[in-house]
Structure 1
């Protein structure tokens, strides 16, 4: 197997992780978490979402969190925006990178976004235009790339089409998400290979959920194809609210441990990362969910 020498980890815990947690975390704790992730060496940290607090109350203080950390040299802080109104709020808080979200599943788009895939993409046109004018980078997410909770199997051709559209609209990269965590290594590799036939591999990122314990295996299979950007969530925070028994996102510390063992550089200090996982897990009132966090947690606590 041939692997990239370096993998860029996009830490999604402060947004994708916490927004799917039942417990509310106060602003100071969210900022503290981001500071700990910066100290661990993470250089891309998704810190919030500028959506209506009516729908995602956990993200209501995203402007405060972003304003507290934005501008750190060498670190990007992407925030999710659903439309031009969300973009305006993000820009007012100092955002220099935003993310937009589309689905490869028509059923999921209708249920989650209340519109068709094509309608959701059309909503991004003014977002892309304004971001381009303001010099703001845009990252694209494609959900349900390996399965949908409503329609089941999702044709690979639909994943390719949506990913291609996002790139054509101006996204610098697309993150392909196994939203319900049903994918296996062979299915993930086939899907990535199909997308890579249309989009340069360096513009593809992966976002796996660990519902069936397959996230690391899926990641390993796709690293061999040349993917070098992986989304992960500290402490395995989150999980898809549409997936029965979902256990969370791929844990960042589990990912870093595997990449260290493969000799792949990430620039991330594993002990500090585990410390961040312990911090946010304590704030949520539960033990660290990740395997590496549990295995090495006592050692890190004693050293700290």
Structure 2
């Protein structure tokens, strides 16, 4: 049914927004593409998988372990990144992220091979039928988590002192410093949030999709498409970009088959990038 496709597209939009949220935060603060974002997500997916299979910890309970760890990793990672970026040009920083991405992917292949893995939760298997519309419970949960994260981040970045400071620094770092804003602390918090969101997205990927160590590239492409569609530097734009990619992809799958679900979205992404490089709600160009 067409209604099923539209609802699925909206839920996938929330999931795509979740995948892009951490990427968007890091990009907004540093204006640098975190090309290792997908691999960070997949490592979180494997961490969630390990906790579930080896220790029997429910994936949603395991978030209490995963999220603080990934926040701390991002917090510490920014220390090294800030030191390196001060003495390196943009191309060198991008190469650094490519190297990190390659190392993480090859470590994944070394430890887990290329076998596809996933987590099946018995209580999220049976579809929910509302007004005759079939809704997958796991996609419903994933979509709602995505919506909640975007609105939570939007509130944090627009209504709290730390969030406003994080937004102010990329616009004018020198002016922000004169007002007493601690640049490095805000950077650590921003990257902590970026890694936390990547960890959350990775854990949700583990329960919604199959994955292997090479799945990070697809996640990175989704994140980049969502951010460009919605607008560079706009967290709210992630939701808009996610909904565009999700609904268009779902409708394309409904009319033309599942093989074109993301292809149509990527084509729209390229068109928007050529016509409006800032995206729909962006503050600057890529």
Q: Kindly indicate which of the two structures has a greater share of residues assigned to helix.
A: 2
- Mark the structure with the bigger radius of gyration: 2
Give the structure-1-normalised TM-score. 0.27
